[in-house]
């Protein structure tokens, strides 16, 4: 079947079978290799992408569900040669080791920070209406718990996310 997606800002039409996952459509049909196939069952987060700004696990989604939707992968976050602030923060704070999970971690962090700013509650902070809700280590661990790092670079990942968030707040 013919499927049209807006991939990293460009309209793309792909010929896929209706049963193809969004992850496989991105990697095998569109040639976008940032999202990784880790567990292929939604447990690791390596395949995380943004759909209309919200993070999803692309291995659990059928591509046909996203007809006409805006899908952003790690490749679509930078503005030309200028890295997205979270990408730059991951480099500055050593938020990766082998790098396999990094695209999913960064896309998830972009979506997570949007959720946090929009007041979406978490298991740590159920009431986001308080005057000042801190993006604590506990909050970050909870909100990023769907993204695993086999190398254990979690301290650098949290430092990168927090630094990017604090820089954004100062702007």
Domain that holds residue 64: 2-76
Q: Do 91 and 166 belong to one domain? A: yes
Same domain, 96 and 67: no
Q: Of 32, 51, 76, which marks where a domain is finished?
A: 76
Q: Domain end: 76, 95, 130, which one?
A: 76
Name residues of the chain where pLDDT drops below 50.
Answer: none
Domain count, the chain: 2
Q: In the 3-class helix/strand/coil scheme, how is the chain assigned residue by residue?
A: CEEEEEECCEEEEEECCCCCEHHHHHHHHCCCCCCCCCCCCCCCCCCEEEECCEEEEHHHCEHHHHCCCEEECHHHCCECCECCHHHHHHHHCCCCCCCCCHHHHHHHHHHHHHHHHCCCCCCCCCCCCCCCCCCCHHHHHHHCCCCCCCCCCHHHHHHHHHHHHHHHHHC
> What was the pLDDT predicted at 134?
85
Give per-residue pLDDT as tens, 62-81: 999 999 999 999 999 999 99
Question: What CATH number has the domain bearing residue 123?
Answer: 1.10.150.120
**What is the model's pTM?**
0.95
């Amino acid at each position: 079947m013919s499927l049209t997606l807006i991939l990293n800002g460009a309209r793309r039409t792909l010929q896929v079978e209706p049963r193809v996952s969004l992850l496989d459509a991105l990697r095998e049909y569109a040639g976008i290799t940032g999202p990784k196939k880790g567990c292929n069952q939604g447990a690791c987060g390596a395949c995380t992408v943004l759909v209309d700004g919200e993070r999803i696990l692309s291995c659990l989604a059928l591509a046909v569900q996203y007809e006409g939707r805006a899908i952003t992968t790690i490749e679509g976050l930078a503005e030309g040669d200028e890295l997205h602030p979270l990408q730059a923060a991951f480099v500055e704070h050593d938020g990766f080791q082998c790098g396999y999970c990094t695209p999913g971690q960064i896309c998830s962090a972009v979506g997570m920070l949007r959720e946090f700013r929009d007041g979406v509650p978490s298991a740590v902070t159920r009431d986001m209406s308080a005057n000042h809700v801190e993006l604590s280590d506990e909050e970050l661990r909870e909100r990023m718990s769907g993204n695993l790092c086999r190398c254990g670079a979690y301290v650098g990942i949290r430092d990168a996310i927090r630094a990017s968030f604090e820089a954004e707040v100062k702007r």
